Each structure stands twice: as structure tokens, then as C-alpha cells.
């Protein structure tokens, strides 16, 4: 529903935009300028402040005094105190220098040095831990084997950037050919990559770009458009990534700087704009300017835009269609099919050497379910990990003991367990199905509890809502009306009814379960209530057929409504 | 002379001008000498006074430096401490009261073993594996979500086998703006306060570049507050775990069960993953266990009284905070009565009545006669038309007939309107604030039954 309305709104906007194109063209520049000016002075000040500020002189003088004459106690104490507090923070020339070099290459080396120090430390720690683990496993081989197998499987199913992408060969090839072709020609081009979330758009681009034959020839810039402050700030971000020294005062200046850079002689540029739909503004001026860059002479730029919408360029940028050289190439990443998901799982598990954790039929089930619903590989991996965690958890239920008991348990429970778990458990159909049901059911969490957890008053509220929806003439239900019916029902059932203020709180509590939705802004009594689930789902969730039937049969409670 | 005076008034400006012009007339110079006291007020002279050495009198800590130290984290804010000692709890009831306080965190959380284990396994697995991840925890307020997560993290910190990790705790409600989350996270990681843009850049570098820091466990409470239209903050927070080579484990908490599907964009939902956990409302048995565990060591509560509280609260919301509040209130009531040292069912009932009351009926009973008549007229109009919304003109007509029936002298419509606005100020009725004439719309804010009940009882 929401999507439909959104798209229709966009259409409207589009039409409006079409109408206003001519009139707006002048005003767009002004707008960007105005927006930019509010942001950029800050940057400018920041960049220029440290060297110009008065502090260095002051601190210098104080330090000089200290050096020359350690005479007056108060002064000395003051300077000492400030240095004792924090050596880095006290304003000495050296500290200022440190602060200055935050973004300069000098600092980088310092950081890397520190990082390497840190690294080595952590490595040592890691190795120590590994040794510990291996030592521990030496005494209990079976347990450790199972344990490590689960752990390896879990590790293999991570959802970070993968090194290889099975199931995306065609798309990767196409992208590679596109980029390589433009690289060889030295010509510029643009491509728009679309696809639903979790289909490997960013990951495949990442893998292509990291390949040496591309990365050596081209200067790459990756910008995630959600990470920038606003749509207009993309130019200043580009300048920062391009390492251009001069900072413009406004975004308009920044745009000019970027365009000037593109005109000059430079290395081939590959700009990747991830989540490009965040750059949408009212008149799409930013997207238009960016997509026009490749067609400029001498630009030598390959532009890759990534987003979810299939038709972003057609919908928001219809003017690009007019000229062929402006039109971006399109590449769609279709949702993963069942076979592809199975392939991804097998390749990942195989590389970790733990393919036997999953039975083939369990894998098929998992892949089929995910592919039929979303085709999102992140979900598939997530479910895979969940399943392993689920089994792992069932194996060591004793986790929940207080800390002092825990250590004792660890030493004790070796003997009995090894016999039971001599063979590592494999993921079977049953576990996968239970996790899938857990994940994809609406009444997920209400089903698996044997004990009823729905508070009684909330049950009555839902039942009275059902009664009104079924029997009343007027389906327009407000909280006030619902409260009246509810209090009548309560009186009939000899229960104490809550008052109106409490009642709206009750409704919002039910709303958090997703069963109803309360809309409206002003008066709580006038808020509208609508049921989001259907009757059978509600009946399943309530688990109280008796109460429901009693309430639903009694039409007299409705009163005049 | 008058002209001369007016000229004198202008002197300072003239002086300035004459100074800037190298050629100064004798007249103006004379004036300058006579009005020397005006000179320091000009901006230039003020600057001069500032530059004079005043170091002897200046204090070592100017407010600006204090602020800077605060931002750098070298000084931490402290609270003023009490001048007297807090007396220790002397009576068992007082002890019970302190133990029943919501902020008193018990050693173990009863009735949340399953959830505890779930979160523990998740976090431990992630820390052992060395990968980041997300988890979404939902549940109605007062079901122990945050308490469980923090106790899991406290336990993980003490375990020696696991790698050391940093713990960051962000609450969406404590931020003035969603983007301030970056500042807060950076502050908890490094103790420094910086603007959010800078913080975002630094965090991005820390979490996406290939450098090995300590793993970070991040708890984000009240996730729904961080959702803006762009949803960039939520996106970034959930995107870092997938990108980083450093470990970042994000645990998000919100009330709504289907928040990811309802409010978040599809790409954010995809990153949030399917590792979800729902905290159910407490049942009355669980609430009883919670309260009795809190009361260990004190014999001040009647078990039946505890059960009454548990049942009452479990039937409405299942909120543990509420149950504890009611118990505390009952303890206070018992304490005031002095002779009782045990809280009985009567006290609990009193506390329940105080907390779950219906003030509307009392409010209607205390109304003036005109206001009561007005309410009656509104009710009668609603009954007559069957529509909830009425206008003032209709109500006034009904009021006239009501008065005629009771044999009372009728007031003017202006007086009636005043009474109506008083009623709407105490929210017994809702009126349209925009138009205050005879076509003003009126809606009854209490149920018709309450009005009848209140007015009938009084007549008897």
C-alpha cells in the first residue's frame, strides 16, 4: 500500500517537475547555492582556524616563561597542572601540530604505526587464545571437534563482503567488460546497477574493483550516499576523496572545482555512488549534474550508481533519455534463485570444510523458502547461522548457570557428554523448518510458548474490536467508541474495566504486537483503531476460544453503535 | 546655544572622523579636550583596553577552557554531594521499600532465563567467531529487555576466555537528534566530544578501514526514535557490522515487534537480519516471583497481597515496573498507619485505587450547577441525534429546555460559553479551539455512562 502511494506521489512530482523544468532551471542553482553556503563556511573555518588561532602564541609565551625563569610558584603550578592533566590536550605547539595533522598524510603514518603496535599486541593475544583453545581441545578432542565445526560453519556463513560470488558470474562479467572497455578506450561512461537488497550489488562491484587489472589503472572513489550529511554535500565529499586542496566556500563552488578537475588532465576516474537514491532532491539537480559528467569532453570518468529501485533513472531522470550519450547503461541484479542460494551455501561451507553440517535436503528447504520470499542472500545466511546457533544452544543448555557454578560445570560435564555427541549433529530438515517458522510466521512468538502470556484486559479489547468489526453497522472505530463497548462487555463479565486514560495505553500496548494500529494525532479519544491481522490469526494468538465466543455472540453490548 | 549643545552631543563621532582625516580643525580639537571622558567608549579605544596586559587579574580557568576540557574529556562532570549522611533503613518496611525500588537491580533476573541464554549465546558466539552482527529485541515496556542485555554484557566482561571488548550504550530518547548518536558513540569510545559530522567520519573510518581495534558491542535502546525520513543513522549503524573487519556487534531494542517491517526501509531491514527476540509480557506467576525475590529477607508483605498485585498488573499490561511501584506505594501507606508492620490486602487495595482511579466521576460531581446542566445537555443532544459531535447552538437550545424543566432561571449564552470553556480546560469535553462562536463543535470526552453515574448518585 505504502509503496503504491509513494510511487504515485513520485509520479505526481515527476509531472510537476516536467512542467516546472523551464521555470526551475534558474532557481535550482540558487537553491543549491543557498543550501551550500550554510554548510560550507564551517568547513572553511575549520580548515583555516588552527594555524591562525591565537593559542599557539599564548602557550608559547607561557612555556618560554617556564623555561627561562621558574620563579613564581603560581605560574609554574598552573603550567604543570595543565600538562599533568593531559599531555595531549594542553595547548603546546606540538599538540597543535598533532591536531593540525588530523587529515594530513603525516598523521596517517603515525596512526598506522600505532595501529601496527596495537595489531601486534592483539595478534599475540589471539595466538595465545588459540593456543589455549587448542590446548583445551587436546584433552577433549570430540567436543572440541564438534564445537569447532559449528564455529567454522558459523564463520563461513558470515554476511561480510565475500571473496567469491557464486551465482553472480554473468553480472560480474558484464560489469567487468563495461569497465575494462571504457578503460581501454579512455572514454567515459555511466552505469546504473539496480536490484533488491541483499542481492550482491556492492559485493560484486567490490570484488571487481579489487582486481589488480582494474585497480592499477584507475583512481577509484567509493561513496556511500547515506554517509554524507545531505544530498548537496556530495561535492565536498568528492573533493575530499579526490585530494584536491582548495575548498570552496559553497557547494556551488565545490561543484565548479570538481568540474574543473574533470576538465583537466587526470588519471581515469571510477566513481561508485552506493545508495544513489539518497541524492534525490526535489528537482533532481544533483543527480542530473552527476550523470552529465561522463558526457563532458576530457572527463575520463566511469560512473557507477547503485540503488534498489529498478527504474530510478527512468523515473527520476527522464531528461537523460533525450540524449543517447547521457543515458546510463542499466544492469539489474535479479533476486537469487533457489539453485544460486544452494550454490552459495555449498561453496562457502566447502571452503571451510564443514559441508557435512547441513544435510542436502535441509539446504534445499532453506534455499527454497528464502528464494520464494525475498531472494535476499543476507536473510538466507542469517537463517543458516540461526540454525547452527539453535543446534549449538540445544547442545549446551547448561550455559545459564551463575558464574561460580559455570566453571565447575565445565570441568565436570566432559565425561557424560562425549558419549552422546560422539557423532556431530547435522542440520536436519526439522531444525530448519522450526527456525523458518519462527522467522516467517506472524504469530511467531505466541505459538511456541506453552503458557499464555496475553494479558486478560488486552484480550477483551481485541475481542470487543472484533465484535464491532463483525456486527456493528459503522466500521469507523475510534478509541472512545471502543472503550464504551469494552466497558459494557466488562460489566457483563463482571470484570473491572480500566478507565479511558489507561485504555489508550492498553491500545498502544496491543499496537506494539502489531495486531492493531492506532492512527490520529490530536485527542486520544478520537484516534482511529484498525485491525491489522485477520480473524484466524487473532484467534490463534489469543488462545482463548471460550472467551472469544462468549463475547462475539453478545450483540447487546454494542448498544446503539 | 541650543545649536551649540546639539553640536556637542555629536562630538564623539566628529572626533573619530577628524582623527581619520589627517587635517583636523582647531574647533574639533578643542571639543575633544573638553569631552575626554567620552573617548574610551568608542570601539577603537575598547579594543585598546582589551590588549593592555591584564594577566595579573585574570583567573587561570576561563569558561572557554573549562568547556574545552570538558569536550576533551579531561575533566568529568561531578554532582554536588550531600552534606549529611543518608540514614540506614531501620524498619523492615523501609528495607522492603528500598528493595522494591525500580532502580534497585537484583543479582539475577528471575523468569528471563531463556532470553538471557539466547542473548548470551548470540554474543558469545559472535565474540568467538570474530565477526560482527545485529540482533533485534522487542517487547512491551517493563519486561526486562535492557536489564537482561546489560546483565549479559556484565557477565561477558568477567569471562576470561573471551576477547576484551568495548561496550557502547546509546539510548535514542537521550539524544536531542538522531545524528547525535554518532557523537555519543564516539564519546563513549574515546571520551571526546566532537561535532556529529566529524564523529561520523571518524566512526566510519574506524569501523570500515582494515585496522584491528578491540571489538565493540553496541546497545541501541529505543531504536524507533533514531528513524528519520532518510533513515541514514539507522542504516549506517547497521551497515558497519557487515563492512568492518573489526568486530561490531549491534543489539537494538525497541517496543514494537514488527518495527523492521513497519517503519524501516527494505535495505535497512535486510541489514538488520532475522536474529530477533521478543520479550513477552510477564504473567501473574512471574510477577509474583519477581516481587517475592525482591523481598527476600523481609517478611513485611502478605503473600496474598503480592498475588493480588501480580494478578491486577498481569491482567492489564504485565509491566514489572508497575507491579513494583504499586507494592512500594502500599508499603508507604502501611508505614503511614504506623501500627501495622506488614502490608495487607487492604493496603494494596488502597494503593491500587490510588493508581488506577477514575477521576472523571469525581470531577463531574464537583462541577458547578451550570456546568452539570451543560454536561447533561450535551449528553441529551448526543442521545437525540446519535452523532458524537454536536454544536454549541444545539447544546444551548437543549440547555434552555433543561432549565425550563427544572424551573431554573436561564443564563445568557456568553455565560454558558464561559462554563463550556472551563469544562474543556479540564478535558471533560473537547471543543474546537479555532472557532468560539455558536457553531463551536463539542465532543464529550468522558463516556455517557460516567456522566449518568456521577449525576444520578448525587441526586439520591
Answer yes or no: is pLDDT of A21 > 70: no
CA distance B289 to B311: 12
CA distance B223 to A380: 24
Note the pLDDT tens digit of each residue in A217-230: 888 899 989 888 88
Question: What integer is the mean pLDDT of A89-109?
Answer: 47
CA distance B447 to B289: 37
Same fold, A144-155+336-402+424-441 and A456-553: no
Cβ–Cβ of B283/A452 closer than 8 Å? Answer: yes
Confidence of residue B198 (pLDDT cuts 50, 70, 90): very high
- Which pLDDT score, from 0 to 100, does residue A120 have? 42
Cβ–Cβ of B266/A308 closer than 8 Å? Answer: yes
- The fourth-level CATH superfamily of domain A168-332 is P-loop containing nucleotide triphosphate hydrolases (3.40.50.300)
The total number of residues written for chain B in this structure: 460
- Which pLDDT score, from 0 to 100, does residue A401 have? 43
Confidence of residue B17 (pLDDT cuts 50, 70, 90): very low
Q: If you measure CA to CA, which chain A residue comes closest to B449?
A: A484
Question: What integer is the mean pLDDT of B189-217?
Answer: 88
Kind and range of the H or E element at B366?
A: none
Least confident of A27-41, A90-104, B140-154: A27-41
CA distance A91 to A98: 11
Q: Name the one residue in this structure whose C-alpha cell is 479555532.
A: B434
What's B77's DSSP letter?
-
Answer yes or no: is pLDDT of B145 > 90: yes
A274-to-A185, A308, A513, B200 alpha-carbon distances in Å: 25, 10, 34, 17
**Which one is predicted more confidently, B35 or B458?**
B458
Beta bridge partners of A270: A220, A302
CA distance A270 to A130: 41
Nearest-10 Cα torsion for B51, B53, B59, B63: 10
**Which one is predicted more confidently, B404 or A132?**
B404
Q: If you measure CA to CA, which chain A residue comes closest to B117?
A: A400
Provide the residue ranges of all domains of chain A, joining segments of one domain with +.
144-155+336-402+424-441, 168-332, 456-553
Note the pLDDT tens digit of each residue in A368-384: 989 998 889 988 998 88
- Residues contacting B311, CB < 8 A, separation 6+: B284
- Which pLDDT score, from 0 to 100, does residue A16 have? 58
**Residue B267 at interface with chain A, using a CB cutoff of 8 Å:** yes
Interface contacts (A, B; CB < 8 Å): 177
What's B111's DSSP letter?
T
* 3-class SS of residue A89: coil
Question: What integer is the mean pLDDT of B212-224?
Answer: 90
Q: If you measure CA to CA, which chain A residue comes closest to B279?
A: A445
Highest mean pLDDT among A495-499, A518-522, B307-311: B307-311
* 3-class SS of residue B341: coil
ipTM exceeding cut-off 0.90 for this assembly: no
Confidence of residue B60 (pLDDT cuts 50, 70, 90): low
Answer yes or no: is pLDDT of A558 > 60: yes
Can you say how many angstroms the Cα of residue A255 is from the centroid of all Cα atoms in its chain?
29
Least confident of B16-25, B112-121, B269-278, B286-295: B16-25
Q: Using an 8 Å CB-CB cutoff, list chain A residues near B447.
A: 480, 483-484, 487, 500
Answer yes or no: is pLDDT of A81 > 70: no
Beta bridge partners of B304: none
Q: Which residues numbered 424-443 in A keep a CB inside 8 Å of some CB on B?
A: 439
Confidence of residue B181 (pLDDT cuts 50, 70, 90): very high
User: What stretches of A233-324 show up as alpha helix (H) in DSSP?
Assistant: 234-242, 251-263, 285-292, 312-316
Note the pLDDT tens digit of each residue in A297-345: 888 888 999 999 888 888 888 888 888 878 888 999 999 999 999 999 9
- Which pLDDT score, from 0 to 100, does residue A86 have? 43
Answer yes or no: is pLDDT of A96 > 80: no
- Which pLDDT score, from 0 to 100, does residue A213 have? 81
For A456-553, give the CATH class.
mainly alpha
**Residue A2 at interface with chain B, using a CB cutoff of 8 Å:** no
**Residue A132 at interface with chain B, using a CB cutoff of 8 Å:** yes
- Which pLDDT score, from 0 to 100, does residue A531 have? 92
Q: Which grid cell is A512?
A: 506494539
A144-155+336-402+424-441 topology per CATH: Helicase, Ruva Protein; domain 3 (1.10.8)
State the nearest Cα–Cα gap between A163 and chain B, in angstroms: 13
CA distance B265 to B252: 16
* Beta strand B429-431 pairing with B441-444: antiparallel
Q: Which residues numbered 480-519 in A keep a CB inside 8 Å of some CB on B?
A: 480, 483-484, 487, 498-500, 502, 505-506, 509, 511-514
Answer yes or no: is pLDDT of A273 > 90: yes
- How many C-beta neighbours within 10 Å does residue A432 have? 24
Can you say how many angstroms the Cα of residue A244 is from the centroid of all Cα atoms in its chain?
30
Note the pLDDT tens digit of each residue in B322-368: 999 999 999 989 888 877 678 889 899 988 888 766 788 889 989 99
Surface-to-core class of residue A448, CB atoms within 10 Å of its CB (0-12 exposed, 13-18 middle, 19+ buried): exposed
Q: Write down the mean pLDDT value for chain B.
A: 84
Answer yes or no: is pLDDT of A137 > 50: no
Cβ–Cβ of A525/B113 closer than 8 Å? Answer: no
Question: What integer is the mean pLDDT of A404-409?
Answer: 44
**Residue A83 at interface with chain B, using a CB cutoff of 8 Å:** no
**pTM score above 0.80:** no
Amino acid at each position: 500500500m505504502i509503496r503504491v502511494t509513494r510511487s504515485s506521489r513520485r509520479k505526481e512530482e515527476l509531472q510537476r517537475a516536467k512542467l516546472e523544468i523551464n521555470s526551475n532551471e534558474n532557481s535550482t542553482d540558487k537553491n543549491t547555492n543557498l543550501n551550500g553556503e550554510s554548510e560550507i563556511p564551517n568547513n572553511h573555518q575549520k580548515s583555516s582556524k588552527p594555524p591562525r588561532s591565537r593559542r599557539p602564541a599564548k602557550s608559547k609565551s607561557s612555556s618560554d616563561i617556564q623555561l627561562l625563569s621558574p620563579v613564581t610558584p603560581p605560574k609554574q603550578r598552573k603550567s604543570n597542572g595543565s600538562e599533568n592533566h593531559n599531555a595531549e590536550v594542553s595547548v603546546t605547539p606540538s599538540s597543535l601540530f598533532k591536531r593540525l595533522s588530523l587529515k594530513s598524510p603525516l598523521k596517517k603514518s603515525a596512526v598506522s604505526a600505532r595501529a601496527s603496535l596495537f595489531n601486534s599486541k592483539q595478534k599475540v593475544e589471539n595466538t595465545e587464545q588459540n593456543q589455549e583453545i587448542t590446548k583445551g581441545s587436546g584433552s577433549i578432542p570430540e567436543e572440541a571437534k564438534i564445537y569447532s565445526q559449528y564455529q567454522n560453519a558459523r564463520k563461513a556463513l558470515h554476511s561480510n563482503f565475500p571473496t567469491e560470488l557464486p551465482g553472480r558470474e554473468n553480472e560480474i562479467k558484464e560489469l567487468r567488460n563495461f569497465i575494462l572497455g571504457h578503460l581501454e578506450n579512455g572514454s567515459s561512461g555511466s552505469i546504473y546497477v539496480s536490484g533488491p537488497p541483499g542481492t550482491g550489488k556492492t559485493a560484486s562491484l567490490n570484488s571487481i574493483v579489487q582486481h589488480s587489472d582494474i585497480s592499477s589503472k584507475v583512481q577509484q572513489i567509493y561513496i556511500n550516499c547515506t554517509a554524507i550529511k545531505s544530498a548537496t554535500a556530495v561535492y565536498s565529499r568528492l573533493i575530499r576523496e579526490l585530494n584536491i586542496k582548495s575548498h570552496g566556500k559553497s557547494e556551488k563552488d565545490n561543484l565548479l572545482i570538481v568540474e574543473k578537475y574533470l576538465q583537466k588532465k587526470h588519471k581515469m576516474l571510477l566513481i561508485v555512488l552506493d545508495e544513489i537514491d539518497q541524492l534525490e532532491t526535489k528537482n533532481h539537480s544533483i543527480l542530473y549534474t552527476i550523470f552529465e559528467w561522463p558526457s563532458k569532453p576530457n572527463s575520463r570518468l566511469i560512473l557507477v550508481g547503485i540503488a534498489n529501485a529498478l527504474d530510478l533513472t527512468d523515473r527520476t531522470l527522464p531528461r537523460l533519455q533525450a540524449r543517447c550519450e547521457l543515458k546510463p547503461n542499466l544492469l539489474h541484479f535479479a533476486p537469487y534463485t533457489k539453485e544460486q542460494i544452494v550454490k552459495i551455501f555449498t561453496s562457502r561451507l566447502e571452503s571451510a570444510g564443514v559441508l557435512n553440517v547441513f544435510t542436502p535436503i535441509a539446504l534445499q528447504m532453506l534455499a527454497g523458502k528464502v528464494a520464494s520470499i525475498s531472494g535476499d542472500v543476507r536473510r538466507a545466511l542469517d537463517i543458516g547461522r540461526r540454525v547452527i546457533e539453535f543446534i549449538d544452544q540445544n547442545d549446551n543448555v547448561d550455559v545459564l548457570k551463575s558464574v561460580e557454578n559455570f566453571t565447575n560445570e565445565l570441568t565436570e560435564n566432559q565425561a557424560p557428554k562425549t558419549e552422546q555427541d560422539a557423532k556431530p549433529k547435522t542440520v536436519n530438515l526439522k531444525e530448519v523448518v522450526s527456525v523458518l517458522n519462527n522467522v516467517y510466521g506472524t504469530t511467531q512468538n505466541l505459538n511456541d510458548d506453552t503458557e499464555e502470556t496475553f494479558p486478560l484486559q488486552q484480550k477483551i479489547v481485541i475481542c470487543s474490536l472484533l465484535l464491532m468489526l463483525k456486527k456493528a453497522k459503522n466500521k469507523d472505530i475510534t478509541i472512545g467508541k471502543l472503550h464504551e463497548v469494552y466497558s459494557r462487555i466488562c460489566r457483563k463479565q463482571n470484570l473491572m474495566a480500566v478507565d479511558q486514560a489507561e485504555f489508550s495505553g492498553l491500545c498502544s500496548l496491543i499496537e506494539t504486537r502489531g495486531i492493531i494500529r492506532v492512527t490520529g494525532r490530536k485527542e486520544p479519544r478520537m484516534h482511529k483503531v484498525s485491525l491489522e491481522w485477520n480473524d484466524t490469526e487473532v484467534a490463534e494468538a489469543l488462545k482463548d476460544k471460550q472467551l472469544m465466543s462468549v463475547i462475539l455472540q453478545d450483540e447487546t453490548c454494542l448498544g446503539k453503535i | 546655544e541650543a545649536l551649540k549643545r546639539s553640536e556637542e552631543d555629536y562630538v564623539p563621532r566628529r572626533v573619530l572622523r577628524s582623527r581619520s582625516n589627517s587635517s583636523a580643525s582647531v574647533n574639533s580639537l578643542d571639543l575633544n579636550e573638553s569631552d575626554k571622558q567620552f573617548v574610551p567608549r568608542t570601539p577603537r579605544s575598547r579594543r585598546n583596553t582589551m590588549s593592555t596586559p591584564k594577566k595579573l587579574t585574570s583567573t587561570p580557568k576561563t569558561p572557554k577552557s573549562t568547556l574545552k576540557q570538558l569536550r576533551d574529556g579531561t575533566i568529568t562532570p561531578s554532582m554536588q554531594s550531600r552534606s549529611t549522611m543518608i540514614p540506614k533503613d531501620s524498619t523492615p518496611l523501609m528495607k522492603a521499600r528500598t528493595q522494591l525500588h525500580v532502580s534497585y537491580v537484583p543479582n539475577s533476573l528471575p523468569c528471563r532465563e531463556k532470553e538471557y541464554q539466547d542473548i548470551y549465546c548470540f554474543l558469545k558466539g559472535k565474540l568467538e567467531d570474530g565477526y560482527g552482527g545485529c540482533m533485534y529485541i522487542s517487547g512491551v515496556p517493563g519486561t526486562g529487555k535492557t536489564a537482561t542485555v546489560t546483565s549479559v554484557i556484565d557477565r561477558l566482561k568477567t569471562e576470561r576466555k573471551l576477547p576484551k571488548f568495548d561496550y557502547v550504550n546509546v539510548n535514542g530518547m537521550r539524544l536531542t537528534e538522531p545524528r547525535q548518536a554518532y557523537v555519543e558513540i564516539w564519546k563513549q569510545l574515546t571520551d571526546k566530544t566532537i561535532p556529529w559530522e566529524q564523529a561520523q567520519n571518524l566512526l566510519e573510518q574506524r569501523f570500515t578501514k582494515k585496522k584491528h581495534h578491540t571489538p565493540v558491542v553496541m546497545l541501541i535502546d529505543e531504536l524507533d526514535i533514531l528513524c528519520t525520513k532518510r533513515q541514514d543513522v539507522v542504516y549506517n549503524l547497521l551497515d558497519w557490522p557487515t563492512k568492518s573487519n573489526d568486530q561490531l556487534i549491534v543489539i537494538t531494542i525497541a517496543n514494537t515487534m514488527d518495527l523492521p517491517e513497519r517503519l524501516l526501509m527494505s535495505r535497512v531491514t535486510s541489514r538488520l537480519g532475522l536474529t530477533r527476540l521478543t520479550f513477552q509480557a510477564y504473567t501473574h506467576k512471574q510477577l509474583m516471583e519477581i516481587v517475592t525475590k525482591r523481598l527476600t529477607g523481609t517478611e513485611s508483605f502478605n503473600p496474598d497481597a503480592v498475588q493480588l498485585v501480580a494478578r491486577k498488573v498481569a491482567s492489564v499490561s504485565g509491566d514489572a515496573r508497575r507491579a513494583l511501584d504499586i507494592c512500594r506505594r502500599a508499603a508507604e501507606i502501611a508505614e503511614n498507619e504506623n501500627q501495622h508492620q506488614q502490608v495487607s490486602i487492604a493496603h494494596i487495595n488502597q494503593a491500587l485505587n490510588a493508581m488506577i482511579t477514575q477521576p472523571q466521576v469525581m470531577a463531574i460531581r464537583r462541577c458547578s450547577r451550570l456546568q452539570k446542566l451543560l454536561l447533561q445537555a450535551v449528553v441529551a443532544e448526543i442521545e437525540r441525534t446519535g452523532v458524537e459531535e454536536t454544536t454549541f447552538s444545539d447544546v444551548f437550545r437543549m440547555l434552555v429546555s433543561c432549565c425550563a424543566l427544572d424551573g431554573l432561571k436561564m443564563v445568557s449564552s456568553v455565560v454558558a460559553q464561559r462554563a463550556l470553556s472551563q469544562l474543556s480546560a479540564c478535558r471533560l469535553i473537547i471543543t474546537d479551539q479555532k472557532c468560539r462562536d455558536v457553531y463551536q463543535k463539542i465532543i464529550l470526552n468522558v463516556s455517557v455512562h460516567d456522566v449518568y453515574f456521577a449525576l444520578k448518585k448525587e441526586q439520591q
